[in-house]
Structure 1
Amino acid sequence: MRPYHKVPIIDCGEPLVEIPLELFAVESPHPYEKLGAPYGDRSPYFLRKTIIDSLIAAQNNLQLRRPNWRIQIFDAYRPVAVQKFMVNYAFGEALQMAGLTEVELSPTQSQVIWEEVYKIWAEPSLDEKTPPPHSTGAAVDVTLVDDRAEIVNMGSPIDELSPASHPDYFANSPDPLAQEYQAHRQLLCDVMEKAGFKRNPREWWHFSIGDQMWAWLNNEANSSNSMVARYGRVV
């Protein structure tokens, strides 16, 4: 269990609705669909209705700071089946990076690699009390696109299994390029948080509203809060 799984869920019943992709930048086809992720009749470009309203507000915040820049939506709703597929895919990628194969993997090596995978990826839990954040329709992975329609360099790609994924990885570096990466990450965080989102402490790209992580982060920031999650797993 993650710390935020202690937060109770009282689902408000708000529907998943299609993201108006014409308002944002988007990668097509979807990066996980290209890998063969089993979405079935579901779409990765859906979110709860209120989350879309907040995402539009974040886009407007960005326009005030950087005219003609846009938020790029990398991933949004993710069924648990897709979560499981991507967790297994990430494990395979980590094996490859370590120069290992599953056949020759010792139990200790396997545990170490799984621990690295789960630093980024939520477990594909089917327990209604511990849903993966993206399976609630309340979490979104985003980055920025500049006024030349080029993806802004954040210093590491989305989903990278490395310490560079941590939001403040470049914060204390004297290197000018590193400071540029940090400024880009902070800009993204600023416009998203102004719209009500909270950022995953481990991932510069992951933001949510109304799920367990969002409630937990709000409660941690203010001990007088006792927020609960209003979005649970969508099946």
Structure 2
Amino acid sequence: MESHEGFVDLATFDERIAVDLSRSVVSNPSPHFLKVRRGIAERLVVAAHALPAGVRLYVKEGYRPLALQREYFADHLAALRGTLNPLPSDETLYELASHHVAPPEVAAHPTGAAVDLTLISADGIEADMGSIMNATDHESSGACYTHNAFISRAAARNRQVLIDALTGAGFTNYPSEWWHWSFGDRYWAVMQRESHAIYGPVEESMLDEASR
């Protein structure tokens, strides 16, 4: 399903939503990387207003081009193929790759329905969330999992603030990535037992045309 809902740029959408223009933790070169569907942006505003005073959402990535998602997945698949010994079947390899990088046909970022985000204080300090964003299970010793029991109390409190605000606004979290939240994509539909997704993947050329 595809609602054909338009995209908006989170960089200028609402003062309660801060954005990271530095791309310090994302390798997404698209000029549209902070864009999402309008319905997603409006839900983020709802979540932002549920946060404690002086705390804002801090978005690192929104839209990711389909071509880039295909590249990420192919690279991860190739890396697994080059390191696993004995080599599992193609089907198992695909499944293993899917644990860390979503296959392009089901990935949320290319639909404009997902954001990678954290919390930031009024004076520009990012909250301690227990692991850096985009860390793998191996790199973070499991701290990337949203409900990891071995992070500090402060980090656990900060995660709970984020969880409460975003779930209250209807978002669904990907459990192995505390920073990844979506609404209306295929993963959300499965988790919420909806019959279909609201948003489908969009090629970057569509956003190029819309922004001309």
Q: TM-score, normalised by structure 1?
A: 0.71
Of the three residues 19, 27, 33, the one matched with 1:26 is: 19
Shift in Å at residue 118 of structure 1?
A: 3.1
Matched, 1:232 2:200: yes
Match of 1:204? Answer: 178
Residue 84 of structure 1 and its aligned partner are, at CA, apart by 3.2
By relative contact order (CA 8 Å, sep 6+), the higher-ranking structure is 1
| Aligned AA (1:139) | A
Residue 123 (structure 2) pairs with residue 148 (structure 1): yes
TM-superposed deviation, 1:150? 0.5
Quote how far apart the aligned CAs of 1:90 are. 6.1
The answer to whether structure 1 residue 135 and structure 2 residue 110 are counterparts is: yes
Deviation at 1:116, TM superposition (A): 5.9
Aligned length: 196
Tell me what 1:164 maps to: 143
Q: Which runs of 5+ in 2 are unaligned?
A: 204-212
Distance of aligned partners of 1:91 and 1:154 in 2 relative to their CA distance in 1, 3 Å threshold:
farther
Query: Would the aligned equivalents of 2:11 and 2:19 in 1 still touch at CA under 8 Å?
Result: no
CA gap 1:105/1:156 in 2 versus in 1, 3 angstroms? same
Output the amino acid matched with 2:100. I
For 1:198 and 1:87, how far apart are their aligned partners in 2? Answer: 22
Aligned equivalent of 2:165: 191
Of 17, 33, 50, the match for 2:39: 50
Within 2, Cα distance between the matches of 1:206 and 1:155? 15
Check if 1:16 corresponds to 2:16.
no
Counterpart contact for 2:147–2:175, Cα < 8 Å: no
TM-aligned CA distance change 1:53 to 1:201, over 3 Å: same
CA positional deviation for 1:87:
4.2
Seen in structure 2, the aligned counterparts of structure 1 residues 91 and 148 have a Cα distance that, compared at 3 Å, is: farther
SS in 2 for 1:72: strand
Distance 1:88 1:181, change over 3 A: farther
Q: How does 1:169-184 map to 2 (within 5 A)?
A: 169-170=148-149, 173=150, 178-184=152-158
**Residues 116, 227 of structure 1: alpha-carbon distance in 2 compared, 3 angstrom cutoff:** closer
CA 1:148 to 1:228, structure 2 compared with 1: closer, same or farther past 3 Å? same
Distance in 1 (CA, whole Å) between partners of 2:37 and 2:161 is 24
Relative to the length of structure 2, the TM-score reads 0.78
Query: How far 1:131 moved relative to its partner?
Result: 3.2
Q: Does 1:119 align with 2:99?
A: yes
Give the Cα–Cα distance (whole angstroms) in 2 for the partners of residues 161 and 113 of structure 1. Answer: 17
Percent identity over paired residues: 29
Alignment RMSD (CA, Å): 2.9
Deviation of the 1:115 alpha carbon: 6.3
Once the two structures are superposed, residues 114-144 of structure 1 have per-residue CA deviations (whole angstroms, 9 ceiling, x without a partner) of 86653222023xxxxx331111100111100
Residues 72-83 of structure 1: matches in 2 within 5 Å? 72-83=58-69
